[in-house]
């Protein structure tokens, strides 16, 4: 994979915004991601470039698309993450319309909405 240009200031702002939106402290995000507090602080305050693994851990912790996090850190997206076993072309039209609307919402907020929808649908879909 070709390493793209890393815009440290943009990544710092992006990560700060995601952490603020999560309602968690930087320390809590660090712990949940399995990273040191110093590492996350380094990405934000000292403009250090995170490794790919750190990007994936932060994306999971903050509920954002891992490829979005990778691209913000100047890495190419990972095609394996983009693959899906379900073809959206097979969705009913009303589901496609809802998916299109959800896609316009910022990733962290979208993840919160999806979690809420999953909870709402548990009895309907017999989800454990």
Distance between CA atoms of residues 13 and 3, nearest Å: 20
- Quick one: what percent of the chain has pLDDT higher than 90? 49
The pLDDT-based confidence of 91 (bands split at 50, 70, 90) is confident
Domain ranges of the chain: 8-82, 88-125
Instruction: Let me know: does 29 contact 22? Beta carbons within 8 Å.
Output: yes
Q: What is the number of H-type helices and E-type strands within the chain?
A: 8, 0
Tell me the CATH number of domain 8-82, given options 3.20.20.80, 3.40.50.1000, 3.40.440.10, 1.10.260.40.
1.10.260.40
The pLDDT-based confidence of 99 (bands split at 50, 70, 90) is confident
Q: In whole angstroms, how far apart are CA 26 and each of 23, 68, 83?
A: 10, 20, 31
Q: Is the pTM for the entire model greater than 0.85?
A: no
Predicted confidence (pLDDT) at residue 16 exceeds the cutoff of 90: yes
Higher pLDDT, 8 or 126: 8
* Residues 33-85 pLDDT 10s: 999 988 999 999 999 999 999 999 999 999 888 989 999 999 998 877 765 55
């Amino acid at each position: 994979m070709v390493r793209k240009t890393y815009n440290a200031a943009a990544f710092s702002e992006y990560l700060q915004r995601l952490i603020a939106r999560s309602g968690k402290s930087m320390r809590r995000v660090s712990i949940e991601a399995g990273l040191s507090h110093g590492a996350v602080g380094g990405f934000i305050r000292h403009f250090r470039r995170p490794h790919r693994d750190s990007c994936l851990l932060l994306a999971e912790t903050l509920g954002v698309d891992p490829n979005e996090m990778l691209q913000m850190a100047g890495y190419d997206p990972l095609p394996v993450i983009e693959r899906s076993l379900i073809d959206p072309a097979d969705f009913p039209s009303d589901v496609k319309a809802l998916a299109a609307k959800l896609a316009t919402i910022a990733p962290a907020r979208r993840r919160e909405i999806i979690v809420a929808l999953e909870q709402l649908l548990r009895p309907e879909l017999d989800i454990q």
